[in-house]
Amino acid sequence: MPKITVSTLAKMKLEQKKITALTAYDASFAKLFHDNGIDIVLVGDSLGMVLQGGDDTLAVTTDEIAYHTRCVRAGSKDLFVVADMPFMSYANPQQSCENAAKLMRAGANMVKVEGGEWLHESIQALTQQGIPVCGHLGLTPQSVHVFGGFKIQGREQEQADKMVADAQALERAGAQLLVIECIPSALAKRITEEVNIPVIGIGAGKDTDGQILVMHDLVGISAGYIPKFSKNYLAESGNMPDAVKNYCSDVKSGAFPTSEHEFN
């Protein structure tokens, strides 16, 4: 599989080729995903829930993300690796650059931050220092206590319009990728069309430029429950390589997600 870069991802959006992504936290799964067609892996602060057993992602530290990023990078030198910036690790431009540098040194190709227009200065500072940035809008897990729980975002017109404006602001600041989570499919389509950077959806319908799932959801072993927007590919595939291949195939063909996985 050829090496993926930010240029590759931009070209995929232009050519309307779907992008496949999964979370990964170690070398073995990173290699498995790379060998079976995944374009992007995210070293997500979701590890706070699926690996550490927390109720949310807030306790995860930059050093923990850096550790798992090193593990993932060891699994494949060619993977495109995005590393999450944890809760309160990017409150200002200087802090953002210092913490992002740790993740880039650990092997990340890009860092991901949650939030809208208020991140403009930090994203600008990061990109000026040569650090590619992925934005994250919608249900941003680090803001779970502000939202009052893990709830669908963007159902009200004012909130939807603000999210579109935030997506455009992130792009202007220099972000080269965007994740949108748990928003109505019509809004996801609108955002995808309104920005020039690739948009990766999770619980955001089929009209985004690509899809991402938490790997534990893909294989049906998440603690608690499997989200509505996910699908247990291991159950129908019988083994891990085929589960990943079938997920990739379904995303590329448009067979996943279906209407049963989206929000209106």
The tens-digit pLDDT sequence of the chain (264 residues) is 778 999 999 999 999 999 999 999 999 999 999 999 999 999 999 999 899 999 889 999 999 999 999 999 999 999 999 999 999 999 999 999 999 999 999 999 999 999 999 999 999 999 999 999 999 999 887 776 565 555 688 889 999 999 999 999 999 999 999 999 999 999 999 999 999 999 999 999 999 999 999 999 999 987 656 788 899 999 999 999 999 999 999 999 999 999 888 888
- Measured between alpha carbons, how far is 171 from 178 in angstroms, rounded to an integer? 9
Cβ-contact 177, 134 below 8 angstroms: yes
Residue 175 CB neighbours (<10 A): 26
The pTM (predicted TM-score) of the whole model is 0.95
Q: What are phi and psi of 198, to 5 degrees?
A: -65, 140
Q: Using CA atoms, how far apart are residues 77 and 255, in angstroms rounded to an integer?
A: 30
Residue 116, token pair as written in the block: 């809208």
Nearest to 41 by CA among 50, 52, 51, 31: 31
The reply, when asked if residue 194 is annotated as ligand binding, is no
The catalytic position among 156, 181, 193, 260 is 181
DSSP-assigned beta bridge partners for residue 19: 210
CA angle 222, 225, 230 (to 5 degrees): 75
171 is in an annotated binding site: no
Catalytic status, residue 158: no
35 assigned ligand-binding residue: no
CATH code assigned to 4-259: 3.20.20.60
Q: Would you kindly state where each structural domain of the chain is located, as residue ranges?
A: 4-259
Question: Residue 210 forms beta bridges with which residues?
Answer: 19, 200
**Two tokens, residue 216:** 């534990």
